Amino acid sequence: MAPDLDYNSIEAFHQKLANSRRILAVCGAGLSAASGLPTFRGAGGLWRNYRATDLATPEAFDRDPGLVWLFYGYRRHMALNAAPNPGHDALAALARTNSNFMCLSQNVDNLHLRANHPRYQLRLLHGSLFDIKCTNTNCTHLERNNTADPFFPAIAAASQDQSPSEPGIIPLLDPSHPLPPITRDDIPRCPACREGLQRPGVVWFGEQLDAAMMADVNNWISREPVDIVLVIGTSSIVYPAAGIAERARTKGTTSVVTVNLEAETPDLLDEMSPGDFYFAGDATELLPRLLEPVIGRI
């Protein structure tokens, strides 16, 4: 279906925003990319010649927990040294301004929270790099907001910044540099059960999202019609997050508003419904402009 002629008009979107009460956002890795965090997708998305999807699984952790912890130790270090960008700030300001706004984020870097996004208006669909849980399925231990860098001594290499003598080279990221040997005994055991290994509190491929959280999200969506769904920095290919925008759509009233760096290809535009918007560009620049009538100038 062909989009409306003003599908990328900021003025037309502002008219829709002025008459909107309930707003939902679904955020992906593209939002945090402007803060310097790699997305691990597409060209150049490898880590030491590994795809993220090869490391972000329970099977990978069971096979080589040291390697997986080095990968997540690096991601924790990068996130701790990153700062929220104006896109995060704009969403946090919208939450503080509109109690009927809910943000669902697939990002695990905690930048939403560091932008002072109200916690009760934020759901971290894939968990957090700074939550630590236990591999023992019979143990419910969960430690939140652990920002130790490194988390344990054996992965100290993951917290190294580039060398002043070798600018641009970080040994951990160079596959020609051998990794430090890390045994299972080097990885901290769960302080609660003393049996399982401690692991990142993120949702890995093959694992289910938190059932209680998803029930809460579905209840919020079904409570009343949603006027606007912002889809930010994501290609909407990872389920179940990919289906949330359509689940929230109320026929004839909901505008799905995509904000993404991807070009406005014919295929993308053909998938739009009347009243939808597509803004191709950097969310850090676009979100403050799109939301300015509500949040003021950032």
pLDDT one-digit tens code per residue, 187-228: 999 999 999 999 999 999 999 999 999 999 999 999 999 999
> Active-site residue numbers?
126
The annotation places the binding site for Zn(2+) at: 134, 139, 190, 193
Measured over all CA atoms, what is the biggest interatomic distance in the chain, rounded to whole angstroms?
61
Helix 10-18 and helix 283-295: axis angle, to 10°? Answer: 40
| pLDDT bracket for residue 173 (50, 70, 90) | confident
Query: Among 156, 149, 180, which Cα is nearest to 48's?
Result: 180
Say if residue 1's pLDDT is above 90.
no
Closest CA to 31 of 102, 82, 107, 94: 107
pTM of the model: 0.93
Q: What are 229-257's pLDDT values in tens digits?
A: 999 998 655 566 668 988 998 877 999 99
Distance of CA 237 to the CA centre of its chain: 13
Handedness of CA 101, 225, 219, 13 (dihedral sign): negative
CA-CA distance, 23 to 15, in Å (whole number)?
14
